[in-house]
Chains A and B, each alone.
Chain A
Amino acid sequence: MLTFSSLLRALPGNVAQGMIWGIMALGLYVTYKILNFSDLTVDGSFSTGAAVGVMLIINGVPALLAVIIAFLVGCIAGLITGLLHTVLKIAPILSGILTQIALYSINLHILGNKANQAVNVNEYHLLLSLRDTNKSILVALLFAIALMLILYWFFGTELGSAIRATGSNEQMAKAQGININLMKVTALALSNGIVALGGALLAQYQGFADVSVGRGAIVIGLAAIIIGTVVVGANKKEHNFLLLLGSAVIGGVIYYIFIGIVLWLKLPTNDMKLFTAIIVAIFLSLPHLKIKKKEKKDATN
């Protein structure tokens, strides 16, 4: 059963799922890379997006509109983390954790006080589904490109530039008369909106929303960003911003291709998380190992 062709046949599904997580990683990119803010809200807001999306669809709202509303609800989640941090002066990580914890209960309410809600692909018109992986890749790709273009445009505007300035040097930005609190709140809202959008897409793809679907989302998102950075070689500042954003999506795809390989190799299933961690650790250490190798080469010359 361990044939190369079965790995290839599984590839479209792995790519589709990776691309959806890549979209989620785009959201994380806004806070993690641009704003320089470790936001743990995403584990909650990803589930929120899934829950909102599914509940709207089963109540007759068109799937595309449901995804957009999920985006807006995600923005509110980010807004709350932003307010906890800027108004109540709670540390970034704690603000995110607090919102994440609160969202667990809120997500249960959204799901009608159930832990799990199905959205059956046979009964509803969904944007994408595991049933049709090729179409899912196309739809996810369209969403990713649209979001990348919007982010590219947005971070070129005055507001977007002010957010970038806040992220790279808070004191300096303040001195320039930028309202840094407003910038942080805006970036957090935008970020969690995109994360929730990713959640709404994933819920349709897998056919259900589960209250624990976002557990560990931050790890997958960060892994996607870091893998993307390593593969595209986007460490250097001179790279095009669009390419940097694209690297996060590519990172998500690569991450899931590797998970597919781990599954395909039929390694002991209880060790799956261990192998996943090893893959991420390898990618995390690659840039460092490369530098070391170069230093060695330079030294011998």
Chain B
Amino acid sequence: MKKLFLILLACLMLAACGSKNEDGEKTYNVGVLQLVQHAALDSATQGFKDALKDKLGDRVVFDEQNASGDPTNCSIISNQFVANNVDLIFANATPALQAAATATGDIPIVATSVTSFAAALGINDWNGTTGINVTGTSDLAVGALKKQAEQIVELFPEAKKVAIIFSSAEANSVAQAEEIEVYLEELGLQSARYTFSDSNDIAQVAFNACEWADVVFAPTDNAIASYASADQFSKPVIAGEEGICKRIGVATVSLSYYQIGYKAGEMAYDILENGKDPATLPVLEENEMSKMYNAALCEKFNVEVPADYIEVK
């Protein structure tokens, strides 16, 4: 045991010797704390880093840590950031924000992928700013379904019949179907529900939907997101979000996690360089949604993509 500790101690001392890199005057150390490896969160972190690199060049150093899905790891990582006395903490997802905000009341924290900052921080009288060392961008998507209904008309002006396909077991999907039916009716489109309760039935239900409809709509349904495949649809699909669009859809109107991460990065820049106070910098809650398209499927269905669309990658 003693030998083991001696070796460890020697390693620590060696590591301590090789770390004198204090040449640049205003190089910022930013701690990046992400809750879990996940496509959306990864995009947000990428957006955050890109924003700061665009603004600061190589005057920013990131200490990237991932709690690997374990919320309690967020505290141990936040504790490390505070010990390192980083200039700013970027917290990606709710538990990451909570742990960071508990760990420090001084170091500025910019968060993203948080739906409600008020709920995450336990603030009862919410007025748009946190009043503490925290600000950031929310991932709330308001009015997505209405924009998606309008997208059907925009891309397929000839379409008359829209099939809505989802799992009847998911309450969230049923609610979305009810909402978009109203918008479709307002736009003069006929709609019908095609539901399944067992993910093994998706292919059959998709076939029936495509037989009847001109365009299929798939809400943010977990079963669709996990089990549907593009081959099952002989008609173009408008998707409820980016991930489903990537899988089976020709297009969607969706929140871009890269964008909310990028905006959080711009806020971080304002705090670091322009001396803005996170306590009074309003949390960005109104998100612009981006129109996105799936290049391969648009080609398959000969869809002409307007210029304001961005490609889903």
Co-complex (A, B): yes
Binding site for B on A (CB under 8 A): 1-7, 9-11, 13-14, 17, 58, 114, 116-123, 129-131, 133, 202, 205-208, 210, 212-213, 215-216, 231, 256, 259-260, 263-266, 269-270, 272-273, 286
30 A-B pairs (CB sep. < 8 Å): A2-B18, A3-B16, A3-B19, A4-B15, A4-B16, A5-B16, A7-B83, A13-B80, A13-B82, A17-B72, A58-B122, A118-B119, A119-B122, A120-B121, A120-B122, A120-B123, A121-B102, A123-B122, A131-B102, A131-B104, A205-B102, A206-B72, A206-B74, A212-B70, A213-B71, A216-B70, A259-B73, A260-B80, A266-B63, A269-B65
Task: Decide: A2 near B29, CB < 8 A? Known: A130-B75, A216-B70, A259-B76.
Answer: no
Task: Decide: A207 near B68, CB < 8 A? Known: A6-B83, A7-B12.
Answer: no
Residues of B within 8 A of A130 (CB): 75, 78-79, 99, 102-103
**Interface of B: prevailing SS:** helix
B84 at the interface (CB under 8 A from A): yes
Q: Which residue of A10, A207, A210, A215 has the most chain B CB atoms within 10 A of its CB atom?
A: A207
Residues of B within 8 A of A266 (CB): 63
Which residues, 52 to 89 on B, are CB-close (under 8 Å) to A?
A: 61, 63-66, 68-80, 82-85
Residues of B within 8 A of A2 (CB): 15-16, 18-19
Question: CA separation between A58 and B83, bound complex, in Å?
Answer: 29
B105 at the interface (CB under 8 A from A): yes
Besides A114-B119, A118-B121, A286-B1, 18 more A-B contacts (Cβ < 8 Å) are A1-B21, A4-B13, A4-B15, A9-B83, A116-B94, A118-B119, A121-B102, A122-B105, A205-B102, A208-B95, A208-B99, A210-B95, A215-B69, A260-B79, A263-B76, A264-B80, A269-B66, A272-B66
Can you name the residue of chain B whose Cβ is closest to the Cβ of A265?
Answer: B15
3 interchain residue pairs of minimum CB distance? A207-B102, A13-B79, A10-B83
Can you name the residue of chain B whose Cβ is closest to the Cβ of A114?
Answer: B119
Residues of A within 8 A of B121 (CB): 118, 120
Task: Decide: A129 near B84, CB < 8 A? Known: A13-B79, A213-B72.
Answer: no
Q: How far is the CB of B45 from chain A (nearest CB, A)?
A: 11
B132 at the interface (CB under 8 A from A): yes
Q: How far is the CB of A240 from chain B (nearest CB, A)?
A: 21
Residues of A within 8 A of B1 (CB): 231, 286
